[in-house]
A = this chain, B = another copy of it.
Amino acid sequence: HPAPATAPKAYHPSTSSVFTPLDTFLPRHIGPRSNDVEEMLSVLGYKSMDDFVDDTIPRGVRVQELTDTDDGGLRPLSELELRRRAEQVAAMNKEMKSYIGMGYHNAIVPPIIQRNVLENPAWYTAYTPYSPEQSQGRLESLINFQTIAISLTGLPIANASLLDESTACAEAMAMCLAAVPKAKFTKGKKVFLVSPSVAPQTMAVLETRASGFGIELKIAQSNQGFKEELEQLGEDKLMGVLVQYPDVNGEVGEWASTASKVKELGGKMVVATDLLALTMLTPPGEWGADIVCGNSQRFGVPMGYGGPHAAFFACTDELKRKMPGRLVGLSKDARGGPAYRLALQTREQHIRREKATSNVCTAQALLANMAAMYAVYHGPEGLRRIAGKVHSLTRVLAQSLTSLGFTITNKTFFDTLTIDVSTAGVSAQQVHATSVQAGINFRRIDETTIGVTLDESVGPLDLTDIVNVFYRVTKKADITPDVLDKLSQEMSLSAESVTETIGSGGRTSEFLKQSVFNKHHSETDMLRYMMSLQEKDYSLVHGMIPLGSCTMKLNSTSSMVPLSWKEFGGLHPFAPVDQAKGYTVMFEELERDLSLATGYDATSIQPNSGASGEFAGLKVIQAYHASRNQGHRDVCLIPLSAHGTNPASAAMVGYKVIPIKALTDGSLDLADLKDKAEKHKDNLAAFMVTYPSTFGVFEEGIEEACQIVHDNGGQVYVDGANCNSLIGLTSLGRVGGDVSHTNLHKTFSIPHGGGGPGVGPISCKAHLAPFLPGHPLITTGGEKAITAVSAAPWGSASINTISWAYIKMLGGSGLTNVSKIALLNANYIAERLRPYYNIRFKNKNGRVAHECLIDLAEFEKSAGLKVSDFSKRLQDYSFHPPTAQWPISTCWLIEPTESEPKHELDRFIDALISIRKEVDEVIAGEQPKDDNVFKNAPHPLAVLTDAEWTRPYSREKAVFPVSGLKRNKFWPSVSRVDDAAGDLNLICECGTVEEYA
């Protein structure tokens, strides 16, 4: 690697010349070619792009377009320049080996998974599997993930991932609250008691979350006295407890009697744990835990300086309807065959809104799939062997250190030793200095204590390097690996050995006996398994995913490449920051660029989803009010059309949600807003508004609305999840926001991954900047930072490289052009469909924003067809259906994004026109209302081999309604999935060996 430099060595010609790079990104990112753009503008009746934009975004709120200059703008890099710059930045990160533990471990990513899942657009460009007939592959993989959690924790229900271990613990805390009858708290206090040996980042996130729920968070004095403290607390205060197993210091506690006590006192028991350890430890589900969660990162996902990885979350059957996040369940399809789909959706924020158990929307699907594949590849025996080896090596380490005079303070352990170094006559500082010298990071606990956590990457040389740090610091000569090997032989250790040091009795129950975990252990087999799933899933590699409010745009390969490098993947989030200079530079640049693009002064990338950003932003507002002695403000105004996460987030910070109506033209009811703002002016905390609106228009009254709120003492939270059409043209700050989140997994090109990962950074005006979130272990955020909202200081750190690269390659004018084409593509669709469908909302010039609502209500009356019937039928045309049900239950919300080429837009329009004709056939009675191409849709391949065909339309019409499909078509793999049946009889783990045999 070249020597790192802060600024890239570069020359940029001032005008176009032979030095202008040819591999510019903008034309690769944008679908329509320049002749297409002209044609589309003329369909819309415009001579120029400027005229079109003027009619679409009110001039009044426009800003100076972003430029490509260095001062105040963003200079674009070509794809090759970006590559070189990324290499330069990567080289600034220092490759050390970290044995810090605390929930993050070196992992061996099986190359086959790295290449065929993480780096495969067929996996990473998929959407959340809300269209189950086109998503059976990743639904199966997610149910494998759930099965892992179920099988290893010993609880019967698990979800398809949460954002990280700490937020998972916070979700668990909220779930306890929801599960425990309010009446119990006769003293008014609802106490959540936490073991003092829970990871500090989890403590911090719990603290951030507790107050909004009115929960009193209490850290127990000690683990020894935990039960006594519980008793003192008493039944009328105890809501729940959290312990960690093994704990952050490595101790494998004995918590069974505590669990009984918790139950006796009417509380719920939450356990944070480690999947690898559970292959050897008695599972918490077997000793009384109600909820068990943790991080699955060490199942083959890179640390990535803190994320992304998938948290797992399991609970008792009793609690299942309060489960946060997405849950995959088995159901059947219209032909009676097995079919997976997302279960119990009525729990989720998009349905329950402020009453939801959680605001979680985007989670960590891609990483859950990686972890699931890791378990499929290794199988139970492979996992047990890895765990056994890690544990045995830890025993060798313990023995070596003890013989040097160090004291291991934890009595039991799996992979972590807490070491009192003073007994060997040295200080933690000396050990630290020696270890860093050797390229190693340990956990520095206090002046005399060091923590070391081993993992599957530790080989003989690594362990010798670790041990030699302690030899050197005690002034002894280095040893060689054979010394340790000999020691291990003397101790009769192997990867298979079960051992007494593990504490709490070893695991006796079997795990992962299901066929899928016992079949694909050769690489050929594994590859075919992954491919067989991949082929069942529709993703951007097949065609448009016109999901309104989701911005399914190109996720370019160039922007995806750097995160695979070990310089980004290998860093522990709590490593000393001076080892992460590359990350620091990248974060600084990204935060600056995001602030510029959104019209704000400061940005924090800690939130690892849009919903997490909302919560963080509201917390920042809350802290701001408190700092001005306005801490009592607790009213939050939210339009009825807001995304479900908005009210759910507001509820989580303890705000009272008051809805604001919309006018019939879809715009905000300013009068209603004014009314309510004034009515609550003494308690008005915030107004949450989405811009452009969730109805797909640029709200004309947005400035006035913000003014009203400000005039009444409130702060404005602009939900910028959907700001793809405004970057460079106007800005969230410009229209009046105080703070916003943007979804980097939408506007800024991080792929959706089939339901995560995401990054939901918040950007804010200067007065809020001091409150941006901090972290207990690593300094970040403002001077008056709120406590952490995520486990890691920079959230899903590694994938920020994607948005960083995206912005760098587009530059200022590129970003602006992207917005324009996003607007053009949407308006082209709306215009061409206008003769056939009811475009629900347009602005006064007849323009929509970057998405449009098509109202299908009339067809329910005329033809008995619901939105879902249209969505299923669209699958037969080889499309993923648009967003449905929300923001209006009778509508489709369609967003093409700038990356769709014109011919794909035309294919979509032609499909919709053809569908409109099919509606007419139903209306005309040519197809019965209960037996037609809609009601029987989608038509998977299997229907074609039916010997008898009794439908009132031909086989050909069923599956090839337009002729282009014969050349190329994505086939749904099952018939219409029956949601009700699955919810009634919830099955969320995969079958056992016997069932498959």
Contact = CB atoms under 8 A, between A and B. Distances in A.
Nearest to A13: B485
A437 interface: no
A966 B942 contact: yes
Contacts of A495: 18, 20, 22
Interface stretch (A551-559, A708-716, A738-746, A794-802): A551-559
Nearest to A2: B95
Contact of A460 (B13, B122, B461, B480): B13
Contact of A19 (B460, B941, B955): B460
A557 B109 CA distance: 12
Nearest to A957: B945
A386 interface: yes
Interface string A10-25: 1101011111111100
Contacts of A11: 459-461, 464, 480-482, 485
A392 B22 contact: no
Number of chain A interface residues as a range: 35 or more
A30 interface: yes
Interface in A218-267: none
B31 A112 contact: no
A878 to B, nearest CB: 11
Interface in A953-982: 954-956, 958-960, 966, 968
Given A80-B457, A531-B541, A108 B23 contact: yes
A527 interface: yes
B557 A540 contact: no
A18 B389 contact: yes
Contact of A459 (B15, B19, B461): B19
Contacts of A121: 116, 527
Nearest to A482: B11
Contacts of A558: 111
Contacts of A968: 532
A27 interface: yes
A31 B525 contact: yes
B900 A524 contact: yes
A554 B945 contact: no
Interface in A1-57: 1, 9-11, 13, 15-23, 27-31, 33
A866 to B, nearest CB: 27
Given A19-B485, A456-B22, A944-B955, A119 B115 contact: yes
B17 A523 contact: no
Copies of this chain per assembly: 2
Contacts of A385: 22
A901 interface: yes
Interface stretch (A350-358, A486-494, A576-584, A768-776): A486-494
B901 A18 contact: no
A947 interface: yes
A779 to B, nearest CB: 31
A945 B945 contact: no
A561 interface: yes
A543 interface: yes
A528 B16 CA distance: 32
B29 A459 contact: no
A521 interface: yes
A382 interface: yes
Contacts of A33: 521-522
A198 B639 CA distance: 75
A420 interface: no
A114 B523 CA distance: 22
Contacts of A966: 942
A899 interface: yes
A79 interface: yes
Contact of A386 (B22, B461, B523): B22
B899 A522 contact: yes
Interface in A871-923: 899-901, 903-904
Given A29-B522, A110-B557, 10 more contacts: A1-B1, A11-B460, A13-B485, A17-B488, A17-B494, A28-B523, A525-B901, A531-B541, A531-B542, A944-B944
30 contacts: A9-B461, A10-B461, A11-B459, A11-B460, A11-B464, A11-B481, A11-B482, A15-B489, A17-B493, A18-B396, A22-B389, A22-B495, A23-B108, A27-B521, A30-B522, A33-B522, A79-B108, A80-B459, A110-B557, A111-B556, A112-B557, A115-B119, A122-B531, A523-B557, A524-B899, A525-B904, A531-B541, A531-B542, A535-B535, A945-B955
Interface of A: 1, 9-11, 13, 15-23, 27-31, 33, 79-81, 108, 110-112, 114-116, 119, 121-122, 382, 385-386, 389, 392-393, 396, 456-457, 459-461, 463-464, 480-482, 484-485, 488-489, 493-495, 519, 521-525, 527-528, 531-532, 535, 540-543, 554, 556-558, 561, 899-901, 903-904, 941-942, 944-947, 954-956, 958-960, 966, 968
